[in-house]
Amino acid sequence: MTQLQIARKGKVSKEMRAAAMHEPVSAAQLRKLIAGGKAVIPANAKHKGLKPIAIGQGLRTKVNANLGTSPLNASAKKELEKMKVAVKYGADTVMDLSIGGNIDAVRKAILRKATVPVGTVPIYQAFFGKRIRDVTEDNMFSAIEKHCSDGIDFITVHSGVSRKALPLVKKRLAGAVSRGGSLLLKWIACNGKENPLYKNFDYVLEIAKKNDVTLSLGDGLRPGCIKDATDSAQLQELRILGKLGKRAKKKGVQAMIEGPGHIPLNEIERNVKMQKRLCNNAPFYVLGPIVTDVAPGYDHITSAIGGALAAYHGADFLCYVTPSEHLSLPSVQDVKEGVIAARIAGHAADIAKGLEAARQWDDNVSSARKKLDWKKTFELVIDKEKAKAYRKRSKVKGRECTMCGEYCALKGL
């Protein structure tokens, strides 16, 4: 049985109990959220060593870190190192988006080591090494089946991409920038057929249900620049995703909905609220949103701005964006910076949403800071190594820092 089916029967699973321990809700309340499709626990029965977490309404904002090889950068070892760093700095899940080297081996190595839920986009593998026109429907479903039976906890399926989207995407400045969405659109255009993940969505549900794999209904048409934000292609897909989410829920399959993308600041609240309305409050998983196109090299910052605002308005799950977005595959350092920026965004939103545990963290840091107790401060902050290095660099001997020296405002009063 899936967590959704268990919840619907009024039962609290051990996964719900474990996940609720880190949340502002009880296990019983979490069960209700899951039964209503407002929260998910991505936990494949075959993923050994997994520490279950929940994603959804009113819960702590979660952060995902994307890992994965590319044809030009295909070391499994490097990706494992990235996972370690990502989890250390607070990633709640990782996704293996490998499209280079031995894809199966990388995925299995990540799954073996991961205590956090692992997600993938199986159709990448279906398209791997083939000409787009040669990919068969069977290739796609086989990839999905393989990932699900390997123990993957959640998979992105771009089931909202349909033939009807083609003319809408052609009107755009940046077209389709989702890797999966663009592959499927090209496949549709080549073969003149409908997207199999859309047409045969029931089959997707059947496979996912077997091992309780959570579906992440992908936004293959997410806007790739500010000009394309909240356009007809994006909204047409969102409406489809809402309907597919309903079908998943009916069949007892856990589902979340993916969202944009590049969105200007003033449209973020509207985007989140529209998603929640059209998708019956299913968990919302956003990439960014990135609030300006002009800052490649700094998209961990452009997305932290958008992500904080999105999470405050109700997005439940933030996919990190690293400084190397739009430029290259991230390095280990990029992964670290991406995770920390997304964690800052999620945490800032959790404070704003009134999560007491989130607020307590800040108060603890500030109490230590007020006392100029550096040891305690370093223990508590998001990145003790960086904070320590900054202080060390200044070679100061007193308790104050080099910003104000003896004029330190924290001393006295």
Are 63 and 344 in contact by the 8 Å Cβ rule? The answer is no
Structure tokens at 367: 């109490």
Binding-site annotation, residues: 66, 95, 124, 158, 178-180, 219-222, 258, 262, 285, 326, 401, 404, 408
Please identify, using beta-carbon distances, which residue of 164 and 179 lies nearer to a copy of itself.
Answer: 179
Are 16 and 30 in contact by the 8 Å Cβ rule? The answer is yes
**Residues in 132-151 at the binding interface with a copy of itself, rule: CB under 8 A:** none
Residue 16 CA to residue 8 CA, distance in Å, equals: 13
Query: Between vectors from CA 349 to CA 344 and to CA 354, what angle results, nearest 5°?
Result: 130
DSSP string, 301-357: HHHHHHHHHHHHHT--EEE---TTTTTS---HHHHHHHHHHHHHHHHHHHHHTT-HH
- In eight-state DSSP terms, residue 213 is P
Using rule CB under 8 A, residue 404 touches a copy of itself: yes
**Residues in 270-309 at the binding interface with a copy of itself, rule: CB under 8 A:** 291-298, 300-302, 304-305, 308-309
Please identify, using beta-carbon distances, which residue of 21 and 265 lies nearer to a copy of itself.
Answer: 265
Binding map of a copy of itself across residues 198-237, x = CB under 8 A, - = no contact: --------------------------xxxx----------
Residue 235 exposed, middle or buried by CB count within 10 Å (0-12, 13-18, 19+): middle
Binding-site annotation, residues for Zn(2+): 262, 326
Residue from 30, 177, 256, 355 in contact with a copy of itself (CB under 8 A): 177
**Residues in 73-92 at the binding interface with a copy of itself, rule: CB under 8 A:** 73
Contacts with a copy of itself: how many residues (CB under 8 A)? 98
**Residues in 181-200 at the binding interface with a copy of itself, rule: CB under 8 A:** 181-183, 185-186, 189
Please identify, using beta-carbon distances, which residue of 159 and 302 lies nearer to a copy of itself.
Answer: 302
Residue from 19, 282, 321, 340 in contact with a copy of itself (CB under 8 A): 340
Q: Report CA Rg, the chain.
A: 22
Using rule CB under 8 A, residue 167 touches a copy of itself: no
Query: Between vectors from CA 191 to CA 190 and to CA 194, what angle results, nearest 5°?
Result: 115
Contact segment (CB under 8 A) with a copy of itself among 112-120, 152-160, 166-174, 198-206 equals 166-174
- Where helices occur in 220-298 by DSSP H, the ranges are 232-250, 268-278
Report, in Å, the least distance between residue 3 CB and a copy of itself: 31
